[in-house]
Amino acid sequence: MNPFQKRSALRIAAVSVVLASLASPVSWFIARERAEEGIVALATEESRHLIDHYNATDLTGADAAKRAALSAESIVGGLFDIAEIYDGAGRKLAEAMTKEGRAVESSLPHHGKPAYSVASYDSFRLPDDRWVLRIFVPLRKSGSATDGPVTSYFEGVRVVPTWQEEQLFANSLSVALMVCLASLLCGAALYPVVVHLSAENERKTREVLESQSALIEGLKRSERELEEKVSQRTLELQQEQSRTMDLLHNILPIEIAEELSATGSARPARHESVTILFTDFSGFTQTVAAMPADRMVGELNEIFAAFDRITDECGVEKIKTIGDAYMAAAGLPKACPDHAQRCVRAGLRMLDYLEGRNRTAAFKWSLRVGVHSGPVVAGVVGKRKYAYDIWGDSVNIASRMESAGEAGRVNVSAYTYDLIRGEFDCEYRGKVDAKGKGQIDMYFVKGERQV
């Protein structure tokens, strides 16, 4: 080798060493910076999608805190360990964090209310040498607007896992070593080598971030499935509650059922102006003596079902059935001025129904109807198998009206007659002996007057 070649070789070697000493640290720093910015960019984009999904860019309205909380909970566990969401005034509405986030929260530098308009991030190490990325993102109603008013803020903290940091370090170091080697071999080969290694580093970083994105998508899918299950269970619970209330309304008056459902108890109440209706079948014992038991129950069920329909249509509250007796009342639990007219009208319709039924039925039934008006006490008795009942002397007198009446007629007391005489034609029976009550003025209702 001639002197010129030696000098050229020395010069090339010196230039290569200088290039290597300069390019190696620079290339290492650039590779690390690009990887870091890639992590931040993807994390910011994914968080923005999740925030938009829960409509948390505009945190106004009564459910702002709820939307912010749902957004924060959906963000953590993926690319972030701490997620904080603030409204446009800088008030923190929601915060969520992973176990790793809780461990480093107290070590993070504190800052005042957010008031920035451009996204940024900080990269630093904690006292325990953990690498932390802290991202600050102003949010606007339109994701494409850059000069509109800021409606909310998102701040996220990612504690970079050791394996990812080591991977980034190894990738950056490999870039630096290859640059150094390329510089020593030939300066002209520096650029393609750096490009190749940078591309490889970017590919590996993308693979890592894609795996993180897949994890986030899996979490979102699990969240959707959980929401669907909760909605289904809620619907089933509402349907069950509706069936329970329907059953309760079928047992008790609506007002009493709602009070019982709301408070767990129903207070007894005194009603000063109520009309009670009693019915009983005449000759019931003789009629059913030769009748099979299932046929007797079927007959009573058919007739009482018709009586239920009549009382509902007339605005009368069914109280109970006792054997072949049917008891109902009007004016309770909600007071009404025409309680007497309602009961008398229902009694006449019951007689008309039974008369029409007897024309075609094999078994003929005769019905007595008694009606009386006066004060009663009403309430729910028992803790199991609830029963709504009424008590008072008025109930006893109504029962006497029925027993002292005649089959096929409505027998009313003088007090009830005084309430209905303007609308019904009645026939005075005189004073009739009532068991335990002495002589009582009674009237047969002949029918309702035609207007």
> With contact defined as beta carbons under 8 Å apart, do 328 and 318 qualify?
yes
Sequence length of the chain is 451
> With contact defined as beta carbons under 8 Å apart, do 67 and 55 qualify?
yes
Q: What are the domain boundaries of the chain?
A: 3-221, 267-448
Domain 3-221 part of CATH 3.30.450.20: yes
Residue 263 burial (CB count, 10 A): 9
> With contact defined as beta carbons under 8 Å apart, do 294 and 380 qualify?
no
Token readout for 290 is: 């030769």
Determine the Cα–Cα distance for residues 65 and 56; give it in Å rounded to an integer.
9
Q: Tell me if domain 3-221 and domain 267-448 are identical in fold.
A: no
Determine the Cα–Cα distance for residues 252 and 47; give it in Å rounded to an integer.
54
Question: Which CATH number is 267-448 given?
Answer: 3.30.70.1230
Residue 276: its pLDDT value, please? 95
> With contact defined as beta carbons under 8 Å apart, do 109 and 134 qualify?
no
3-class secondary structure, 444? strand
Residue 68: its pLDDT value, please? 83
pLDDT, one tens digit for every residue, the chain (451 residues) = 566 556 666 777 677 666 666 666 766 667 667 777 777 777 777 777 777 777 777 777 778 888 888 888 888 877 788 888 888 888 888 888 898 888 888 888 887 788 888 888 888 888 888 888 888 888 887 655 567 788 888 888 888 888 777 777 777 677 767 777 776 676 555 445 545 666 787 888 888 888 888 888 888 888 888 888 888 888 888 777 667 665 555 566 666 666 666 665 667 789 999 999 999 998 777 777 677 888 888 889 999 999 999 999 999 999 888 888 999 999 988 899 999 999 999 999 999 999 999 999 888 889 999 999 999 998 887 666 667 788 899 999 999 999 999 999 999 999 999 999 999 999 999 999 888 888 999 999 999 987 6
Q: What is the pTM of this model?
A: 0.46
Residue 398: its pLDDT value, please? 93
- H or E element: which one contains 17? helix 3-53
Residue 125 burial (CB count, 10 A): 10
Q: Buried (b) or exposed (e) across 156-165, using 16+ Cβ within 10 A?
A: bbbbbeeebe
Determine the Cα–Cα distance for residues 248 and 236; give it in Å rounded to an integer.
18
- Tell me the DSSP string of 270-326: EEEEEEEEEEEEETHHHHHHTS-HHHHHHHHHHHHHHHHHHHHHHT-EEEEEETTEE
